[in-house]
A and B are shown apart, each in its own frame.
Chain A
Amino acid sequence: MWRLLLAFWRASAAEEVQYRANFLADGVTSLLTVAWNVGAASVFFGHTGSVAGWRFGEVLAVMGYFQVMMGFIEVFLRPNLGRLVEYVRLGTLDLILLKPVNAQLFVSARYAALWRGLDVLLGFGLLGVAIGRLDVPVTPSLLLRGGLLLASALAITYALTLMVMTLSFWLVQVENLLALLLALWETGRYPVQVYSGSLRWILTFALPVGLVTTVPAEAVVRSQTSLPLWLPVAVAALLLLVATAFWRFALDRYTSAGG
């Protein structure tokens, strides 16, 4: 499987290097965007030492996780699952199903917009700055926790996106549903504690952005987390199972246009 993925991404990279100037332009934009987001946070913190119990450095860690996740969406989810609608509409899906490759792997990982990997790196940079500012000792157990929760965060995002995109077997305007999901995902830029009452509950359990950015940041830069650490991992595992099952269910029902 890894050899296959490597081959896929090498082909993607070969396509991309044709457009080298894009890399620079996008890089500058990504850098500016991150600087702007940090600037926005510092405007809030110009008025107070802590927002909903979070210090500036801790919020930077949340933004770091958020940035890594958005980068992951741009590198993998959008170029791959974003195409699923087209596969169904144009009938290309039939070709994919006939390939001697796991179809879910193919529609999820065929392409990699590698140049957007810069967004991911910037996210890790933010996390590093947060850890440095707060003098958090970097221990193997910290890296393990942070890494595991990052993997869960990406898995949750992937599973939700796969479920939404799988709806394209039945619905036409699924791109819009994805846009809606991504818009709501924007709420993860700040700790979930800034939202009040029922909204916080929704953003933690129903649409779990809180598990994707807040809890991992807490695990890395704060002494205790608002929710048990196993929760994001469990939710990620559950969502992956459900999303895969839903994808299989959809494929079983899929009859192509002429079927």
Chain B
Amino acid sequence: MYPDAGFRAIVRAFWAFLRVHLAVELEYRGEMFIWLVRGVVAPLVNLAVWTAVAGEGEVGGFARAELVSYFLAVVAVERVTLEWIVWDLEHGLRTGELSPKLLRPAPPVVEWAAHHAAYKLVEVSAYLVAWPLLLRALGGAPYDLDPGRVVLFALSALLGATLRFAMAFCVGTLAFRTTRAVSIYRILDLSLIFFSGSLAPLALLPAPLRAAAQALPFRGVIAIPVEILMGRADRAGVGLQLTWLSLFLPLAYLAWRLALRHHDAVGA
């Protein structure tokens, strides 16, 4: 069990880890390019099918050009909110690498979060270059880049990233109890594809699924930021994200404390 570090110490540790991981990520640019391509393919497959559904007309208020803008924004938010925390936890436990991390003054989540942030900084910068090019090549409708809206979009995307990280972290702490955490995570991942707006704009889901998507937290991850950029959602969306965060952040903290209390490293 680590001694409790103060807030400032945690921020300092975060910056230090961020710099280290940024240097590492910049070294593996080629690898990152491939992950980015992989991230772009799935949304673009969905885009292709929706475009075929819309044909020359429109589907549920989305014409071809809007579908392009929607799914390219989905790619952006998908990359910003990406996480692999369950693998970090599972790997740390299986190999025992978690144990020395627990002895450090700052909790290990600080390093994991910094690693996520560093990776995304590089990848998202690359996508910010590719985004307008893809928009033009695929014939998307231009976004209305009003500064207030762009700021709200960025804020909402960051909140989405925090929400997704917190939800996955809760699932990840199950790794302390079962070796199947990654399988359970797969269910979270599939729900995210369906209910977050990444398979389809929520307006295009059939009524029962749409009702479920409205009630579930997943739309706070993708749909809300994307709809803010598209001018289809406003501050109320950010409020909803904050509400879900106020549930999942304490839950993640609690899950972590409970998991640690029961944790016996192999050999302890």
Q: Give me the interface of A with B, judged by CB distance under 8 Å.
A: 21, 25-26, 28-29, 32-33, 36, 39-40, 43-44, 46-48, 51-52, 173, 176-177, 179-180, 183-184, 186-187, 189-190, 193-196, 199
Contacts and interface: CB of A to CB of B under 8 A. Distances in A.
A25 B186 CA distance: 11
Contacts of B187: 29, 32
A187 B45 contact: yes
Given A47-B59, A47-B60, A189 B45 contact: yes
B190 A33 contact: yes
A224 to B, nearest CB: 20
Contacts of B45: 186-187, 189-190
Given A32-B186, A46-B206, 4 more contacts: A29-B183, A184-B37, A187-B45, A190-B45
25 contacts: A21-B180, A25-B183, A28-B183, A29-B187, A32-B190, A36-B190, A40-B193, A40-B194, A43-B204, A43-B209, A44-B49, A44-B53, A44-B200, A46-B206, A47-B53, A47-B60, A51-B52, A183-B37, A186-B45, A190-B45, A190-B49, A194-B48, A194-B52, A195-B48, A196-B48
B183 A26 contact: yes
Contacts of B41: 183-184, 186-187
Nearest to A200: B48
- Classify the interface of chain B: helix, strand, loop or mixed: helix
B30 interface: yes
Interface in B189-228: 190, 193-194, 199-200, 204-206, 209
Contacts of B51: 194, 196
Contacts of A46: 206
B49 A179 contact: no
B207 to A, nearest CB: 10
B16 interface: no
Interface string B21-51: 0000000001100110110011001001111
A179 B204 contact: no
Nearest to A48: B53
A44 B45 CA distance: 12
Contact of A176 (B30, B59, B194, B199): B30
A179 B36 CA distance: 11
A53 to B, nearest CB: 9
Given A173-B30, A179-B34, A183-B38, A43 B199 contact: yes
Given A46-B206, A47-B204, A186-B42, A194 B49 contact: yes
Counting chain A CB atoms within 10 Å of each CB, the highest count among B31, B41, B53, B199 belongs to B53
B54 to A, nearest CB: 8
A33 B49 CA distance: 19
A43 B42 contact: no
Q: Chain B: interface residue count, which band?
A: 20 to 34
* Pairs of residues from A and B, 7 with the lowest C-beta to C-beta distance, nearest first: A183-B38, A25-B183, A52-B52, A194-B52, A176-B34, A194-B48, A29-B186
Nearest to A193: B52
A179 B38 contact: yes
Contacts of B42: 186
B180 A43 contact: no
B200 A43 contact: yes
Nearest to A40: B199
Contacts of A190: 45, 48-49
A59 B180 CA distance: 33
Contacts of B206: 43, 46
Nearest to A199: B48
B140 to A, nearest CB: 14
A25 B180 CA distance: 7
Nearest to A36: B190
Nearest to B179: A21
Given A180-B37, A183-B38, A183-B41, A36 B49 contact: no
Contacts of A173: 30-31
A25 B179 CA distance: 10
